[in-house]
């Protein structure tokens, strides 16, 4: 559409914030008009757009000509018309640049006449705030780096501290400590649009991070017994371990502390032999890392509770519909059932909130016995079981990621090359784990396994051979290997030597970390050498 030039008009500006124009057309019959609206070139934000209005007025006794119209970028707008006024209040406009014109086209006009125009822009979109740090739990009482992105040049206020986003929209503020409650971040962009977002920070009481885990297993009752506890603490003080693998839920389904998880209370699983938060605080005070071990699906507490309440679908069943026992106490729980999954994840999350540095799963597998003998609600009988175990590790990883803790799983030694025997697909599970912990105890291998004639008498050879297979299994993933080794009386013939040989074999495979197993929690300190940083080369 073409317009006649505004040179036919006489214009008088009437204001600064709004422009009022008295226009007298040269044709001699036009009414005198006032034009009022935002200044030409105005940028409107969300608030000023709500208040904005454009108006054409006249005090002529004949009122406004009916042929007078308003067009926004060539399209008529829904303006309110009165005898002496034409007003447009925009309901909503997308961000962008606009031209609003007043035009008139009478019968004798070949083309519409341009009487006035306004050029303006709209930026009514509030700035988005994306937080990149902290990306996991923060430690109570410690400084916190808050970083993220928003619109370039925006003014950002984080918990009362103000900064400006750079040309890429990045900002960061260091707080002395995490605020109580939600973290408030306010961003005001260059147009004046405001975003006020609340972010929930996960806070843990304390944290100990180690590059390499050198840990020993301890049962709940052993930890609650001073003589056992002191021996373990002495090993840490002597610099030969830096971590405790504390049992949170054991093979009997018993939980070491008084858990708030409802099913733990209903099933009678709580033993309450130690205070979890105090235990973690005490270990962290000494610089000792805490890996919380949870025996997941072998659960003689949850199993009978489910059975007695008629919830057989919570259990692995036989083909005749009875709880599957195999060589276990009643019962082995169904790792595909949402209630069973949630129970274990809730225990893990409670421990994460208390400050454990790792969650280490055990018994995330199928029970012993042929697949054809096992019935699990939620898994068709002709389908494999490995995907359900992988899915559990995925859900666990998602649930625990906000706490920024290590995530590992204790896996059978044969799982690396015989996954279906135990339903542990190592590459699949590794996608959701920080480390795998293969249980590769020399005493548990039969003659000739991996080409080793007598594994129990050749601890170095069998550990070397199994770790080579495991390294192949996790190749291409970011998952590291932290092997379970043994320091036990079972089939022992020179216990210190056997322990040293296992550690040496692991180290020669590039793995300078371990989880050490002794169900009786009576370790042989003389078998261990100093931490890597304390060794004499």
Q: Token pair for residue 522? A: 């009576």
Shared fold status for 130-204 and 214-534 = no
Q: Token pair for residue 274? A: 């130690």
Check: CATH 3.20.20.80 for 214-534?
A: yes
- For the chain, the structural domain boundaries read 6-122, 130-204, 214-534
Contacts with 204 (C-beta within 8 Å, 6 or more apart), sequence order: 137, 138, 139, 140, 352, 353, 354, 355, 403
Distance CA 40, CA 33 (A): 18
Q: Decide if 357 contacts 208 (C-beta within 8 A).
A: yes
Q: Decide if 47 contacts 39 (C-beta within 8 A).
A: no
Contacts with 380 (C-beta within 8 Å, 6 or more apart), sequence order: none
Distance CA 93, CA 356 (A): 52
Q: Which CATH class is domain 6-122?
A: mainly beta
Instruction: Count other C-beta atoms under 10 Å from residue 143's C-beta.
Output: 11
Phi, psi of 506 (to 5 degrees): -65, -45
What is each CA distance from 534 to 83, 254, 529, in whole angstroms?
93, 38, 9
pLDDT tens-digit readout, 308-337 = 999 999 999 999 999 998 776 778 999 999
Q: Decide if 273 contacts 323 (C-beta within 8 A).
A: no
Among the listed residues 517, 359, 369, 522, the one whose alpha carbon sits nearest the alpha carbon of residue 439: 517
Phi, psi of 118 (to 5 degrees): -125, 135
Give SS3 for 196. strand
Decide: pTM greater than 0.85: no
Q: Decide if 173 contacts 105 (C-beta within 8 A).
A: no
What is each CA distance from 97 to 6, 46, 90, 109, 339, in whole angstroms?
22, 15, 14, 29, 55
Distance CA 232, CA 521 (A): 9
- In 181-250, which ranges are continuous DSSP H helix? 220-223, 226-237
Q: How many residues does the chain have?
A: 537
- One digit per residue, the tens of pLDDT, for the chain of length 537 reads 333 332 222 222 233 334 444 444 434 455 689 999 999 999 999 999 999 999 999 999 889 999 999 999 999 999 999 999 999 999 899 999 999 999 999 888 889 999 999 999 999 999 999 999 999 999 999 999 999 999 999 999 999 999 999 999 999 999 999 998 899 999 999 999 999 999 999 999 999 999 999 999 999 999 999 999 999 999 999 999 999 999 999 999 999 999 999 999 999 999 999 999 999 999 999 999 999 999 999 999 999 999 999 999 999 999 999 999 877 677 899 999 999 999 999 999 999 999 999 999 999 999 999 999 999 999 999 999 999 999 999 999 999 999 999 999 999 999 999 999 999 999 999 999 999 999 999 999 999 999 999 999 999 999 999 999 999 999 999 999 999 999 999 999 999 999 999 999 999 999 999 999 999 999 999 999 977 766 555
Give SS3 for 75. strand
Distance CA 256, CA 225 (A): 13
Phi, psi of 330 (to 5 degrees): -65, 120
Q: Which CATH class is domain 130-204?
A: mainly beta
């Amino acid at each position: 559409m073409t317009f006649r030039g505004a040179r036919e008009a006489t214009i008088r500006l009437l204001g600064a914030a709004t422009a009022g124009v008295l226009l007298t057309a040269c044709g001699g019959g036009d009414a005198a008009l006032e034009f009022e609206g935002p200044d030409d070139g105005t940028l409107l934000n969300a608030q000023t757009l709500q208040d904005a209005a454009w108006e054409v007025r006249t005090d002529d006794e004949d009122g406004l000509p009916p042929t007078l119209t308003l067009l926004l970028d060539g399209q008529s707008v829904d303006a309110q018309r009165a005898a002496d006024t034409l007003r447009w209040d925009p309901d909503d406009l997308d961000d962008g640049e606009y031209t609003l014109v007043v035009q008139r086209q009478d019968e004798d006009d070949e083309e519409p006449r341009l009487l006035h125009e306004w050029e303006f822009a709209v930026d009514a979109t509030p700035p988005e705030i994306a937080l990149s740090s902290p990306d996991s739990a923060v430690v109570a009482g410690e400084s916190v780096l808050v970083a993220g992105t928003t619109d370039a040049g925006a003014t950002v206020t984080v918990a009362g501290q103000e900064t400006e986003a750079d040309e890429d929209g990045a900002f960061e503020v260091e707080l002395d400590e995490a605020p109580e409650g939600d973290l408030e971040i306010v961003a005001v962009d260059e147009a004046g649009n405001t975003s006020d977002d609340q972010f929930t920070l996960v806070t843990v009481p304390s944290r100990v991070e180690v590059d390499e885990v050198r840990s020993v297993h301890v049962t709940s009752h052993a930890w609650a017994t001073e003589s056992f506890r002191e021996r373990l603490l002495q090993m840490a003080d002597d610099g030969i371990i830096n971590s405790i693998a504390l049992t949170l839920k054991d093979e009997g389904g018993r939980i070491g502390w008084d858990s708030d998880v409802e099913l733990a209370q209903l099933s009678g699983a709580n033993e309450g032999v130690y205070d979890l938060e105090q235990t973690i605080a005490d270990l962290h005070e000494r610089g000792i890392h805490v890996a919380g071990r949870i025996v997941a699906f072998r659960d003689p507490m949850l199993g009978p509770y489910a059975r007695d309440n008629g919830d057989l679908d919570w259990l692995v069943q036989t083909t005749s519909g009875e709880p599957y026992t195999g060589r276990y106490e009643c019962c082995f729980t169904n790792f595909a059932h949402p209630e069973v999954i949630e129970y274990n994840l809730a225990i893990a999350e409670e421990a994460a909130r208390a400050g454990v540095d790792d969650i280490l799963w055990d018994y995330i597998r199928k029970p012993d016995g042929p697949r054809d003998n096992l019935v699990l609600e939620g898994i068709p009988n002709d389908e494999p079981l490995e995907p359900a175990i992988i899915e559990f590790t995925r859900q666990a990883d998602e649930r625990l990621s906000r706490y920024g803790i290590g995530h590992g799983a204790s896996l059978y030694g044969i799982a690396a090359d015989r996954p279906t025997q135990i339903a542990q697909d190592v590459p699949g599970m590794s996608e959701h784990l920080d480390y795998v912990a293969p249980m590769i105890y020399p005493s548990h291998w039969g003659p000739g396994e991996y080409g080793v004639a007598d594994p129990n008498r050749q601890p170095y050879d069998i550990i070397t051979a199994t770790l080579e297979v495991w390294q192949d299994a996790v190749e291409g993933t970011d998952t590291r290997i932290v092997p379970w080794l043994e320091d036990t009386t079972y089939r022992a013939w020179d216990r210190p030597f056997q322990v040293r040989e296992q550690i040496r074999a692991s180290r020669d495979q590039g793995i300078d970390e371990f989880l050490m197993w002794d169900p009786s929690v009576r370790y042989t300190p003389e078998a261990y050498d100093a931490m890597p940083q304390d060794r004499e080369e």
